Structure 1
Amino acid sequence: MTLPDRRILLVHAHPDDESINNGLTMAKYVQEGAHVTLVTCTLGEMGEVLVPELEHLAADRDDTLGQHREGELAAAMAALGVSDHRFLGGAGRFRDSGMKWDENGNATAADEIHDNAFWNADLLEAASLLVEIIREVRPQVLVTYDEFGNYGHPDHVQAHRVAHYATDLAAARSFKPELGEAWDIPKLYWAAMSASRFREDLRALRESGDTTTFEGMDPDQLPPFAVEDEYLDAMVVGPEHVPAKLAAMKAHKTQITEDGAFFAGGIDVAAVVWGTEFYRLVKGTRGPVGESGFEQDLFAGL
C-alpha cells in the first residue's frame, strides 16, 4: 500500500471521542492530503442513550448500542473525510467498560464490569494489536489521551496505556517481527483543552445569563482536561473545518444532543469555541512556533 508522505494515527476509546477531541484536526489533515487513521478501542456499548426512541438499545435492555454506534461512527468519519478507520482487534474485540462518577466528580471504573471489558484487557495483547497497525501505517504522529484519560474514564486511561506501550514496542526491531518492520513514531501528542480559553468562554456564557451550558462548572475550578497554556505545545487552527466537526459530532446522535452544550450559541460561537484544538507534545522534538507560541502543525519540524 502506497501512503502519502504525512501520516497521523489517532487512538480513541469509544465512538464520538474522536469527533469531540480531534474532529477539526482530522478534517484539516484529510483536506491537506495526509493519511489519517483512526483506531477505536471499543464500540461504546455502555454509553448513555440520549434519544428516547432508541433507549431500548442500552446495555441494560437490548444491549445493541454498540452495533448502532458503529453506524454513527461511520457517518462521522464520512463527515470528516476519514476513510481509514479500524476497531482495535476488530469490532467487538474489547467491550466498553462503563464508568461511574467518584466523590471528586471524575470518572472512574464501575463497580461491576464485563469480563471482556477493555479495562480488563491484557496490556501486551492489546498493544500488540496496535503495533501491527503502527507498522502498517508508519505514522509520523500519534494522538491519544493523557495518563488520566482526560477525565478519568477507565477506557480512556487504558487507551493511553495501550498507545504508549504499542509506540515503544513497535520501535523494537526484535519485538514480534511477524507484525511488520519496526517503526519509531517521531511525535506523540496528548489531546487537551486550553484552560485559559475554556475559562474565558465559560465566563462569557455566565455574563450573558446562560447558566445551563456546562451547568455547575466553575471557571476558577476547571476539570483536569483543561490544561494551562504553559503546558500546551501545539494548536491546530481551522475555523473553516468547524462545520465538518459539528456534522461529525451530530452523527453520534445517541450520545450528543443538538440542543446540548456542545452546540450552544450556534455556528458563530462554535467557530470560536471549536475552531482550535490543543495538544501536549510528550514524545519528539517541538517544531517551530509562531507568534502564538504554539506549533500550528502537528508535523512541524519533521
Structure 2
Amino acid sequence: MNRRILFVHAHPDDESSKGAATAARYVDEGAEVVLVTLTGGEAGEVLNPSAAAVAPEDMGATRARELAAAVAAIGFTRTYGLGYRDSGYHENPEDVPEGSFARTPLDEPARRLAAIVRHERPQVVVTYPEDGGYPHPDHIMCHAVTMRALELAEDPAADLDEDTPGADAAPWRVAKVYASGVFPARRVTALHEAMLAHTGESPFAEWLEKRSDRLAGPDPDALVECGDWFERRDAALLAHVTQIDPDGFWFGVPRDLEREVFPYEGFHVLRSDVEVVRPEADLFAGIEDDDGRAAPDLGHVTERAG
C-alpha cells in the first residue's frame, strides 16, 4: 500500500511540537507525509529570550523562513500554506480581530482544504481535538475547518475552491482521522516521575501544579513509537528560533531518559472507518489498501510505559 498521511496545523511551529517525530518516522518508512499550515503566524511574539527582536511587520516572513527549515528537518513530502492571518491568542472570542483566521467563514478555508484532500488522497488525517488542545482560537478553528473539509472532500456535489489543486479531482473519504495529543497524562506522569528519580527535579512540576485538570482526559488511542526520531523533532523545534528557547521547557528532559520511559507520541481517534484496537501502534492500523479498506488482522502496541 502507498501510505499517505496529511497533517493539518494552525501555525508555523505547530508541525514541530505536535506529531513531528511520528511524521519523520513515516517519511523514513516511505509514506507520503503532507503538511498543511493554515496561517502565517503573523501575530506571534518573540518567545525565545536569546533571539533577536523582530518587527511586527516582519514576523510573517520570519516565521515562513523558520517553517521552511523545520519542514526540511522533518522531511515532509509536500507542504501547503493557506495563508490566513494568525488570530493571536485571545481568551475572549469577542477579542479575535476581524479579518483573522478564526473570524473567517468556515466553508472558505474548508473548501480549499477539501480540494487538497482530494488531490493528496490520504488514508489518514491528523488535526486537533475539538477544544483545540488548548483554547487558542486558531486551534479550535483548525479542528472545525478540518472536519468540515473532510465532509466536503467526499461529497460529489460540493463546490470546492477552483484555484486550489484537487478542486476537480474525484471525491475522497479519509479512512481514519486523529487529533494529536501533545501532553497525554501518561507521558507527563512518566517523564515527571523519571526526572524526580534521576535528578530530584522535574520541568513538569509547575505545569502539573497549575494544569492538573488537563490530566483528566482519556489515554491516547494510538501510541506511535518514535524515540529514534526525537532528534529530528528537536531540530525542527529549534528551527523556530523566535518561538523556541533551546534552554526552555521543551528540552527539560534528557532525550535518552525520554526514550527509556516514554518513546511515543500519542493520538486520539476522531473518526475511523476501520476497527480500532487500543492502543494502536500505527496510525495506518487496519487499513489494507490505497482506498482505505480494512485489513483482516489488526495489531496493537505492547504497552511498556506508565
2:214 alignment partner in structure 1? 224
C-alpha contact (below 8 Å) 2:48/2:244 kept by paired residues: no
2:297 alignment partner in structure 1? none
1:12-161 alignment runs, 5 A limit = 12-52=9-49, 56-57=53-54, 61-88=55-82, 93-100=83-90, 108-109=91-92, 112-161=95-144
2:187 alignment partner in structure 1? 197
1:181 alignment partner in structure 2? 170
Amino acid at match of 2:71: M
2:283 alignment partner in structure 1? 298
Deviation at 1:259, TM superposition (A): 0.4
Structure 1 gaps of 5+ residues are 101-107
SS at match of 1:37: strand
C-alpha contact (below 8 Å) 2:87/2:138 kept by paired residues: yes
Structure 2 gaps of 5+ residues are 288-306
SS at match of 1:143: strand
User: Distance between the aligned counterparts of 1:109 and 1:168, measured in 2?
Assistant: 29
Among 205, 224, 230, the residue aligned to 1:242 = 230
Aligned length: 279
User: Distance between the aligned counterparts of 2:137 and 2:231, measured in 1?
Assistant: 30
Cα distance 1:62–1:218, how it changes in 2: closer, same or farther (>3 A)?
Answer: closer
User: Distance between the aligned counterparts of 2:262 and 2:176, measured in 1?
Assistant: 24
User: Distance between the aligned counterparts of 1:273 and 1:150, measured in 2?
Assistant: 23
User: Distance between the aligned counterparts of 2:79 and 2:157, measured in 1?
Assistant: 28
Amino acid at match of 1:158: M
Amino acid at match of 2:189: R
SS at match of 1:116: coil
- Render the CA deviation track for 1:175-198: whole Å, top value 9, x for unaligned: 127612111111101111321231
Amino acid at match of 1:159: C
Deviation at 1:220, TM superposition (A): 9.5
Cα distance 1:259–1:132, how it changes in 2: closer, same or farther (>3 A)?
Answer: same
Percent identity over the alignment? 38
User: Distance between the aligned counterparts of 1:96 and 1:225, measured in 2?
Assistant: 28
Give the superposed CA RMSD.
2.4
SS at match of 2:115: helix
User: Distance between the aligned counterparts of 2:75 and 2:84, measured in 1?
Assistant: 26
Cα distance 1:109–1:41, how it changes in 2: closer, same or farther (>3 A)?
Answer: farther
Cα distance 1:53–1:264, how it changes in 2: closer, same or farther (>3 A)?
Answer: closer
TM-score by length of 1: 0.84
The answer as to 2:170 corresponding to 1:165 is no
Stretch deviating more after TM superposition (40-49 or 266-275): 266-275
Amino acid at match of 1:26: A
User: Distance between the aligned counterparts of 1:184 and 1:162, measured in 2?
Assistant: 16
User: Distance between the aligned counterparts of 1:28 and 1:182, measured in 2?
Assistant: 28
User: Distance between the aligned counterparts of 2:112 and 2:45, measured in 1?
Assistant: 28
Stretch deviating more after TM superposition (143-152 or 191-200): 191-200
Cα distance 1:74–1:268, how it changes in 2: closer, same or farther (>3 A)?
Answer: same
User: Distance between the aligned counterparts of 2:4 and 2:13, measured in 1?
Assistant: 21
Cα distance 1:86–1:243, how it changes in 2: closer, same or farther (>3 A)?
Answer: same
